[in-house]
Amino acid sequence: MNFKASIIEQQFLGLDDETKNALRDELNLGSDENKFKSTLFLYYSTKILLDLERDETIECLVDGGQDFGIDAIYVNEPEEHELPITIIQAKYTNNLKGDSNFPESGIKEMLNALRYLFDPYAQLGAVNERLRTKVEEIRSFIREGNIPKIRAIALNNGLKWNEAAQEQIDLSGFGQQVVWEHVNHDTLLDLLNSTKKVDANLQLLGAAIVEDMNFSRVFVGRMAVREVAELIGQHGDRLLERNVRRYLGLQGNRVNTDIHTTLNQEPDNFYYYNNGLTLVCKSFSYNALQKNDFLVRTKDLQIVNGGQTSMTLHHYMRQHETVSENASVLVRIYELPDEQYENYVSKITHATNNQNPVDLKDLRANDEKQRNLEAGIKELGYVYHRKRSTANVRTGDITSGMAAEAILSVILKKPHQAKFNAKEHFGKFYDVVFSAELNAAQTVIAVLIYRFTEARRKKLLSTDKVFVRYASCFLAMQMAQKLSDEKQLGEQLILLNHRNFAEVKATLDAKMETYFEMAVQDIDHALSQLYGESYMVTISLQQLSATFRRADLMEKIFQAA
């Protein structure tokens, strides 16, 4: 028995009943316990790999027959016309020896899926509805000019695929547009153990600058590319625990391609073309008596910016083994005072990463607005997670990400930005979403409405119109308007507060279905205005999906209301 494989099995079999019941319900799992066990492994692994909350993870799962061999699929927002997509196929065996290869047939299935799923002009044929909904949405993005960049993960509790399967991958012709990874119990345990502190020695090149600044110390120098690669090879994701782009370095995007090109064609100029690495630590020491080529000893080292560069350099060296001795990268090392360590790390991470639209939820968690919301929502009887919780978020709990989408949809009436600009919710939209006027009662009511429409989207009733799959944010907006009109809450629920919360919630509970049906009628009428009465015959699911990313639909909805 493989010890690590047995640990992972114990972990996913020990998931709480709420999660297990949610999986059975969402995926309509029957009584086959082996199938359920495989699904638990898929869920548990996907959650760890993509660093998602429970509901987000379940949303990714598309396993269930007629799935092209794809068991999970996750789509990031387009960035610079690139559409990052992760697909996962999982193979779980009850044999815990860990000595079985990922099957060649599984690789062939994934290759076939890549050829058909992401070609917007290819016929899908018979696929399950969970997968079809996601694929048509992806295809609508592709039709708008976004290029899919795919991370294909072969997941099992055994060994990597064999040479014959690798030959199939090499002959596929997908090139750098698809990055292949094998993930097993070893990978998962490494990620789970990533919170262990790293004490590392950094070998630098040439001269350096060292300065004491405001009770902190700063060391600025440069490291050889091969040294960075070896550092990642030795410590891996443990160095990236605080990096908000933790897994981006594995996804084969444009930046990674540029790094490969520079190292191949102009390795001696890499220092000038790259922004470098920002590292933080509790302490560093070096021999101040020498003039250059310092060996810097660090305690509790973390990479807070440059994780993408570091991981790409590591993968490059694994593929090429050698690189010019002159290829180097700028390194900034900050020694931070103990009493303000966490605060400084958050601010440095935010400042060095916010040039790009990345997920900043964790970095806003200690903001005063978030703390006030947490306290106010608690007084109303709900739990608000301003930080991503290491424990499972319970069904009735409210996460900060969910709150942002609900507020944008319900209160700010910007549903097209709620679903498809999530990276900006805690970036440039933050002060608009979590404004000074926002209160806990408004937030909870917004979330309750949004949660209802999301549940309906995920489990479409046979009587529901097909656009409900893509319109949850728009439906939530309209439902809130009906509630506001009836209870005279004013524009953007401005008169809703802790005093009338119980009364408003009681009305909402009693009339949720009624408001939903009224909202469906509004949107149905708006779509008819845009495309004609027979729009469901004349437009495709791809076009329908894209419609709910467009602001011009808003005018028609307001007219319909």
CATH of the domain at 182: 3.40.91
334, 356, 378 - which closes a domain: 356
Rounded to two decimals, what is the model's pTM?
Answer: 0.70
Query: What digits encode the pLDDT tens for the residues 87-122?
Result: 999 999 998 888 899 999 999 999 999 988 888 888
356, 374, 395 - which closes a domain: 356
Q: Are residues 226 and 127 in the same domain?
A: no
Q: Are residues 339 and 370 in the same domain?
A: no
Q: Are residues 144 and 221 in the same domain?
A: no
How far apart CA 97 and CA 1 sit, in angstroms, is 4
Q: Are residues 123 and 249 in the same domain?
A: no
Q: Are residues 43 and 137 in the same domain?
A: yes
Query: What digits encode the pLDDT tens for the residues 500-512?
Result: 999 999 999 999 9
Q: What is the pLDDT of residue 128?
A: 86
Q: Are residues 236 and 278 in the same domain?
A: yes
What is the average per-residue pLDDT within 414-430?
A: 83
Q: What is the pLDDT of residue 214?
A: 61
Beta strands in 214-306 (DSSP E): 216-224, 277-281, 283-285, 295-299, 302-305
Q: What is the pLDDT of residue 364?
A: 78
Q: How confident is the model at residue 255 (pLDDT cuts 50, 70, 90)?
A: low
Q: Are residues 351 and 240 in the same domain?
A: yes
Q: What is the pLDDT of residue 245?
A: 36
Domain hosting 538: range is: 362-560
Stronger pLDDT, 211 or 427, i.e. the higher one: 211
Average of per-residue pLDDT values in the chain = 86
Decide: helix, strand or coil at residue 241.
coil
Q: One-letter amino acid identity for 140?
A: S
Residue 522 confidence (pLDDT) above 70: yes
Q: Are residues 143 and 51 in the same domain?
A: yes
Q: Are residues 232 and 144 in the same domain?
A: no
- Cβ pair 85, 147 in contact under 8 A: no
Q: Are residues 60 and 79 in the same domain?
A: yes
What is the average per-residue pLDDT within 202-231?
A: 89
139, 169, 192 - which closes a domain: 192
Q: How confident is the model at residue 357 (pLDDT cuts 50, 70, 90)?
A: very low
Residue 230 confidence (pLDDT) above 70: yes
Give residues with Cβ within 8 angstroms of 155, minimum separation 6: 42, 45, 49, 71, 88, 89, 90, 91, 183, 184
What is the average per-residue pLDDT within 51-72?
A: 87
Q: Are residues 419 and 434 in the same domain?
A: yes
Q: How confident is the model at residue 560 (pLDDT cuts 50, 70, 90)?
A: low
Number of domains in the chain: 3
Q: Are residues 351 and 366 in the same domain?
A: no
Q: How many CB atoms lie within 10 A of CB 140?
A: 22
For residue 99, with 0-12 CB atoms within 10 Å meaning exposed, 13-18 middle and 19 or more buried, which class applies?
exposed
Residues in a beta bridge with 72? 61, 88
Residue 253 confidence (pLDDT) above 60: no
Q: Phi first, then psi: what are they for 329, rounded to 5°?
A: -140, 145
